């Protein structure tokens, strides 16, 4: 199974939120279109790999796009957020609605951030509490 791909020195895994920049030709004009979503599947081998990206459009409608990796129309792929998943295909996100459809655990981008030690300084307590008790002994 293909769990990750490399596109122009950018490594993309299943579960990542990415932005795909695509060139579109309309008549004599050429423009760039951006599609941002979660990678739910990577299929194929070697040059035949394709990537499926899903996003939630207005009105809670899910939109999926499938691109072959070696297409000349894709100019740039940006990883917006790393995702940590235990599956190779995230087709179960299709059944979810709203915020749950985009909920994937956040992954740590750098391994150096993984084991940051936080030092807490302990201040010695020098103050002693003195309390005076007033007692009335009446017999």
Instruction: Report H helices in 28-119.
Output: none
Three-state DSSP state, 69: coil
Q: 87-109, pLDDT tens digit by residue?
A: 888 888 877 766 666 667 666 55
Q: Give bridge partners of residue 12 from the DSSP assignment.
A: 5
| DSSP β-ladder status, 4-7 and 74-81 | unpaired
Give 42's Cβ-side CA count (13 Å radius): 22
69 is a domain residue: yes
Percentage with pLDDT > 70 across the chain: 68
Q: 50-77, pLDDT tens digit by residue?
A: 999 998 888 888 889 999 988 889 999 9
Please report, for the domain that includes residue 88, its CATH number.
2.30.30.790
137 is a domain residue: no
**What is the chain's mean pLDDT, rounded?**
78
Query: What pLDDT score does 102 carry?
Result: 65
The residue segments making up the domain with residue 28 are 4-97
Query: What pLDDT score does 112 carry?
Result: 38
List Cβ neighbours of 42 (8 Å cut-off, separation of 6 or more): 2, 3, 4, 5, 12, 14, 49, 50, 51, 52, 88
Please check whether residue 66 is in contact with residue 42, taking contact to mean a CB–CB distance below 8 angstroms.
no
Count of domains for the chain? 1
DSSP 95: G
91 is a domain residue: yes
């Amino acid at each position: 199974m293909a769990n990750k791909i490399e596109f122009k020195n950018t490594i993309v895994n299943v579960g990542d939120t990415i932005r795909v920049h695509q060139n579109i030709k309309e008549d004599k004009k050429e423009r760039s279109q951006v599609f941002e979503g979660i990678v739910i599947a990577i299929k194929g081998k070697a040059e035949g790999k394709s990537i499926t990206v899903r996003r939630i459009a207005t009105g809670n409608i899910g939109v999926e796009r499938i691109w072959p990796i070696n297409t000349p129309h894709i100019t740039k792929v940006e990883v917006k957020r790393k995702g940590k998943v235990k599956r190779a295909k995230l087709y179960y996100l299709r059944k979810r609605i709203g915020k749950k459809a985009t909920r994937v655990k956040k992954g740590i981008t750098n391994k150096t951030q993984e084991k940051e030690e936080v030092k807490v300084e302990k201040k010695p307590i020098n103050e002693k509490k003195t309390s005076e008790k007033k007692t009335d002994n009446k017999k």
